[in-house]
Amino acid sequence: MTSREAYMLLNLLPGIGAIRVKQMLEHVGRPEEILGAKRTTFSRFPGIGPKLADVIVNWRQHADLD
């Protein structure tokens, strides 16, 4: 997956908008790393609780590039 694809997927996830994506990128670096991160990684991000962490970790259930 390319960074562009991962970025688009993140923006398709419910409850995750451009501001949250930007905040996560400041901590993680690349969008594909966010999609591959473990649930515990998100506990350090402001505004990302267990429900949003679950959405990100299970992104395949919530978004599809096709």
**What CATH number should be reported for the domain holding residue 14?**
1.10.150.20
**Measured CA distances, 10 to 4, 32, 52, 62 (Å):** 10, 9, 11, 10
Q: Is the pLDDT of residue 64 over 80?
A: no
Structural domain includes residue 19: yes
Q: What residue numbers bound the domain in which 29 lies?
A: 3-61
pTM (two decimals): 0.83
Rounded CA gap, 51 and 20, in Å?
14
Mean local confidence (pLDDT), 5-18: 90
Q: Confidence band (pLDDT; 50, 70, 90) for 28?
A: confident
Residue 10 lies in a domain: yes
On the question of pLDDT at 36 being above 80, the answer is: yes
Residue 66 domain-assigned? no
* C-alpha pair distances (Å), 19 with each of 1, 11, 26, 48, 66: 22, 10, 11, 12, 24
- Number of structural domains the chain divides into: 1
